[in-house]
Amino acid sequence: MLTRRLAVAGALALGLSLPLALPAAAQDAAPKIPVVASFSILGDLVKEVGGDRVAVTTLVGPNGDAHVFQPAPADAKKVAAAQIVFVNGLGFEGWIDRLVKASGTKAEIVVATKGITPREMADEDEDDHAAPGHKDHDHAKKGEHDHDHGGIDPHAWQSVANAEIYVANIRDALVAADPAGKAAYEANASAYTAKLEALDAEVKAAMAAIPESRRRIITSHDAFGYFGAAYGIEFIAPQGVSTESEASAKDVARIIRQIKAENIPAVFMENISDPRLVKRIAKETQAKIGGELFSDALSDDKGPASTYIDMMKNNITQLSSALSS
């Protein structure tokens, strides 16, 4: 130590410059805030706002189905270690309360849909009496298809305007947890919101270009109600909002009749759903099978929907391709 001090003093006396060697601990970046997001789409939004200041762990990963997710002990450990746990809310994660309790976590639980106007699901009996062409073809009957949602559609992110509300809620939660990062979180949220506003305009333009008579499709489960309401597309699904429930024969028969009566042009498969039901409906009606839509989960990094923005762009491309021709 004495030798080093003498060397430093001698160098300074000679006017020599020395490399500024900081202690190893000071060279390391500040520790990132550990946060958990319940599913991949929400995780991507948290990463956009949190940037380099957060370490995001996602419970239900790419192509995963949050409706049927079964948490493991490792998931409880992730939640226990988190400072913030971001959830969608609106009943989407029927397992989250049990997981949080089992984990014993002290994390702040942040509901990303706070401030969003929930979309009510139509009762099945009401839908049976709906006039042909009625716009609300939701087959979620409370206590049956709508297993955990209590008549509320949880898929609010399918409207880009709603995604902007998610971003604001995420920003506010991160600022509260990490005041030192306020400027960074606000800048990240502002920049990403600008991208979302551009995306919203792009989706509106793409859907408006589809002939109005062709803006009706079949999907395997009812995940696109907010998209339909925001962008003028009618989505019809044999399953309710949860993939836990099986579509009844009555539901399927009704949809087959409707496709034939109204000449609905296309049916679409989803990345989280078994494609056999949609293929059966297509076979019996001769409707065109469109591409794959991403509803409740992103794709992996090699897929076409590895971020929220890419997911929405993929979906409008698939819809435009199938419905415009």
Cα 35 versus chain centre, distance: 16
Q: According to the model, what pLDDT value does residue 308 have? A: 98
pLDDT tens per residue across span 152-200: 999 999 999 999 999 999 999 999 999 999 999 999 999 999 999 999 9
Q: What band does 247 get if pLDDT is binned at 50, 70 and 90?
A: low
Q: What is the pTM of this model?
A: 0.78
CA distances from 263 to 211, 216, 222, 259 (A): 14, 9, 20, 5
Q: For residue 167, which of 202, 195, 205 has the smallest C-alpha distance?
A: 195
Q: According to the model, what pLDDT value does residue 18 have? A: 42
Q: Average pLDDT in the 106-127 region?
A: 82
Over its C-alpha atoms, the chain yields an Rg (Å, rounded) of 25
pLDDT tens per residue across span 9-31: 444 444 444 444 445 444 456 79
- Residue 283 or residue 176, greater confidence: 176
Percent helix, strand and coil across the chain, each to the nearest 5: 45, 15, 40
Strand partners, 108: 84
Instruction: Retrieve residue 237's tokens.
Output: 């699904």
Q: Average pLDDT in the 275-288 region?
A: 73
Domains and CATH numbers, the chain: 27-118+157-194 (3.40.50.1980)
CA distances from 2 to 8, 16, 197 (A): 10, 19, 62
**Taking 70 as the threshold, does the pLDDT of residue 270 lie above it?**
no
pLDDT tens per residue across span 43-71: 999 999 999 999 999 999 999 999 889 99
Q: What band does 279 get if pLDDT is binned at 50, 70 and 90?
A: confident
Q: According to the model, what pLDDT value does residue 151 have? A: 85
Q: Rounded to the nearest 5°, which phi and psi values hold at 109?
A: -95, 115
